[in-house]
Amino acid sequence: MSLALFDLTGRRALVTGSSQGIGLALAKGLAAAGAEIVVNGRNAEKLSAAAAELRDAGGVVHELAFDVTDHHAVRAAVDRFEAESGAIDILINNAGMQHRGPLEEFPAEAFERLLQTNIASVFHVGQAVARHMIGRGRGKIVNICSVQTALARPGIAPYTATKGAVANLTKGMATDWAKYGLQCNGLAPGYFETPLNQALVEDPEFSAWLAKRTPAGRWGKVEELVGTAIFLSSEASSFVNGTTIFVDGGITASL
Write the DSSP assignment of 67-123 as a string of letters.
-TT-HHHHHHHHHHHHHHT----EEEE---------GGG--HHHHHHHIIIIIIHHH
- What is d(CA 28, CA 59) in angstroms, rounded to the nearest whole number? 8
196 by DSSP, 3-state: which?
helix
pLDDT at 114: 98
32 Ramachandran zone, left/alpha/beta (phi>0; psi -120 to 50)? alpha
- What is d(CA 227, CA 33) in angstroms, rounded to the nearest whole number? 10
Average pLDDT estimate for 240-252: 98
Write the DSSP assignment of 13-66 as a string of letters.
EEETT-SSHHHHHHHHHHHHTT-EEEE--S-HHHHHHHHHHHHHTT--EEE---
* Closest-CA residue to 30 (of 70, 57, 66): 57
Average pLDDT estimate for 29-50: 96
pLDDT at 1: 56
Domains of the chain as residue ranges with CATH: 3-246 (3.40.50.720)
pTM for the predicted model, two decimal places: 0.96
pLDDT at 61: 98
Beta bridge partners of 192: 220
pLDDT at 72: 98
- Cβ(216)–Cβ(157) below 8 Å: no
**pLDDT exceeds cutoff 90 at 52:** yes
Question: What are the tens digits of pLDDT across the range 98-121?
Answer: 999 999 999 999 999 999 999 999
Q: Is 159 noted as a catalytic residue in this protein?
A: yes
pLDDT at 108: 98
Question: What are the tens digits of pLDDT across the range 8-28?
Answer: 999 999 999 999 999 999 999
* Closest-CA residue to 11 (of 88, 81, 78): 88
Which position among 159, 177, 191, 219 bears the catalytic label?
A: 159
pLDDT at 194: 87
Give the model's confidence band at 2: pLDDT under 50 very low, under 70 low, under 90 confident, else very high: confident
245 by DSSP, 3-state: which?
strand
Question: What are the tens digits of pLDDT across the range 54-99?
Answer: 999 999 999 999 999 999 999 999 999 999 999 999 999 999 999 9
Question: What are the tens digits of pLDDT across the range 175-216?
Answer: 999 999 999 999 999 999 988 788 889 999 999 999 999 999
